Structure 1
């Protein structure tokens, strides 16, 4: 036996109503169930919780203290219910989204916000591996990434298809080139992403398929850092073609060995079925149709 939430509820109801019968009606349970829970507490801890006066049960000083605790517990329950409800309502709900790239994910979030302006949106950014892990551990409700594994863990919805491109400073000799090979890029100072990046996975596969082993000048942990390094003329980097909305300074150049289009998808755990996630996936479908049109 122990102090359970149901016993504390019963205790508080009796103190409020003045009898077991009235408390039972408040709790919508039987009178014997209420009296048994109160008496169990009195017996287990050898205390008296109520005195009978004028036909009513009056709480003892000890019981009054316990009722104060019961009120705080009831408030905690209400707070927990409000918190849980926020994750499954389109009115004042909250959705957490994990992004590997700021685009097209941020454009998708903007479209979702336009549809559901009262939903609070929190955004977590990180590498491919970090966002995959965040979805699996439910740190985020839904992720947006390219090249997400097709397996039973995830429910996926196609957002768009895109490929990895080289990004080049406009004063570089390769500026204005329509396409370049991995063999040609091997002659240039290269700027790579750290392992765990979806971009770097594509780059590594392309060089490996071409039988090449490049040594990068720099290895950086974010797309923005790669972009800035290229913008400052330090070398050639790589990014998803639609990985950013920025159009300043650098040029995007196709890489013939990286022309295969990769699916960028919104994804969540296969068992996820909240109303907010369903609304987000519906927005993905609309976003894809608008992009194709």
Structure 2
């Protein structure tokens, strides 16, 4: 890895020469020397320094974006070359959207540890748009998301089909109503995820298909918070059957009989276009498909 770019990325991330020196196990003068050498070679000032903090110049912001890409490519090259010399293992950066990451990924990780203990996974959870962006910027090796709006630069392979239902608390007035009309649903408070979420996109499509204009949307950034709010009786929500499995078993949430449901969508496996897949990625992808099929089959 280019030492100057690595030092620059670390200083830019920590906004401190002293903290960067500590992380890199270097002296502070050595860090400063590397930054000066990089600025001299590029012919531009990258960092503004004062006694209390360090900030990026406009040129520094541009350089940081490219430094992350270059450093990521160096790391990737090292991992792939290392794999040629040994068994499946090493670091694997996995990104997952909230529904899959919180309700399907844990048993996948348990199986991964049992079958490939040399693999060292790191997990990032976010909405679909966030995971796709982090994969494009090479912060992640592989992503699992729901939804269709993933943007360019990525390959998407269908992993499994997900079914989504409208749910409400067990004591909600609609819990015993069969069927529930779109007009009646429009009167309810709807707990929804934020824009960029695959669950929010599926909810918006359902509203459109049923001709629903809810009187109020309550936007919440966590599926767990949405479920607990529904259990408290505040309103209704559209959620994956995977996410509702525990509450349905306990009886704290009930599925509503809504004509035209379930809403169906796909879980997708995302990788970068043109990238070679390592042995570790292939092993994880194979195990991911196997375990996901078991999980989805039980819902």
Which residues of 2 match residues 102-181 of structure 1 at below 5 A? 102-148=102-148, 153-176=153-176, 180-181=180-181
Query: C-alpha deviations, 1:91-124, integer Å up to 9, x for none?
Result: 5511111111212233333333332122111111
Question: Match of 1:263?
Answer: 266
C-alpha contact 2:166 2:255 (8 A) present in aligned 1: yes
Give deviations 1:24-70, integer Å, cap 9, x for gaps. Answer: xxxxxxxxxxxxxxxxxxxxxxxxxxxxxxxxxxxxxxxxxxxxxxx
Answer with 1 or 2: which has the greater Rg: 1
Q: CA deviation at 1:213?
A: 1.9
Is residue 2:255 matched to residue 1:286?
A: no
* Structural mapping, 1:41-80, within 5 Å: none
1:95 aligns with 2:98: no
TM-score for both structures, normalised by structure 2: 0.62
5+ residue gaps, structure 2, are: 4-73
Pairs within 5 Å for 1:239-250: 239-243=239-243, 246-247=246-247, 248=250, 249-250=252-253
Residue 173 of structure 2 aligns to a residue whose secondary structure is coil
Report the equivalent of 1:70. Answer: none
Q: Call closer, same or farther: CA 1:220–1:185 in 2, change over 3 Å.
A: same
Q: Mind listing any 5+ residue stretches in structure 1 that lack a counterpart?
A: 6-79
Change (3 A) 1:222 1:114: same
Using the size of structure 1 for normalisation, the TM-score is 0.63
CA RMSD in angstroms comes to 3.2
Contact 2:88 2:280 in 1 (8 A): no
- 2:78 paired with 1:84: yes
Change (3 A) 1:122 1:81: closer
Question: Which residue pairs with 1:74 in the alignment?
Answer: none
Matches of 1:113 and 1:157 in 2, distance apart?
Answer: 24
Q: Give the length in aligned residue pairs.
A: 216
Structure 2 equivalent of residue 185 of structure 1: 185
The answer to whether the Cα contact below 8 Å between 1:85 and 1:93 also exists between their aligned partners in 2 is: yes
Residues 181 and 131 from structure 1, CA distance in 2 versus in 1: closer, same or farther, beyond 3 angstroms?
A: farther
